[in-house]
Amino acid sequence: MTPTPPLDDTPWSERLRERGLRVTAGRIAALNHLKAKPHTTATELHTALITVLPSLTPQSVYNIVQDLTEHGLIRRIDPLGDGGARYETRTDDNHHHLSCVLCGRIEDVDCVIGEAPCLVPQSTHGMRVLHADVTFRGICAACEQKPPSPHPRKE
């Protein structure tokens, strides 16, 4: 993890202020890390951030990701389908995820123009749809080369 730059010299400072959030070292460090390493859990984020912000507590990291998610600076995803939240800064487009069912590797998948999966439900049951998530599950090339595991990841 690289040291956090001065707070006002980051591209995130203006975006935080635009959304009514204070610019803090924790928020800047979290955004920088998630930009460099998307699909990170809060626990992984805490482990990375304490190298530059040793006083940062796990609860502080949970508060940071909650605030950043609520204000649209990051997106909370569950591409492994295991209930484990992961976070990414790629919020400005409609992309999906591909996860390996064996090793858990996660990759972004851009939508193919004209061939998007069903993202419009036949019935909304009186609700306004805010977001649609599609996660493709497969086996990555590295796992494909390994002998079969007796305990594959849950789908």
Encoding tokens for residue 18?
């635009």
Annotated ligand binding at 70? The verdict is: no
Query: Given the structure tokens 């069903």, which residue do they identify?
Result: 118
| 111 annotated as ligand-binding | no
118 annotated ligand binder: no
Tell me whether residue 18 is annotated as binding. Answer: no
153 and 105 in contact (C-beta within 8 Å)?
A: no
Which residue ranges make up the annotated binding site for Zn(2+)? 100, 103, 140, 143
Which residue ranges make up the annotated binding site? 100, 103, 115, 140, 143
Which residue ranges make up the annotated binding site for Fe cation? 115
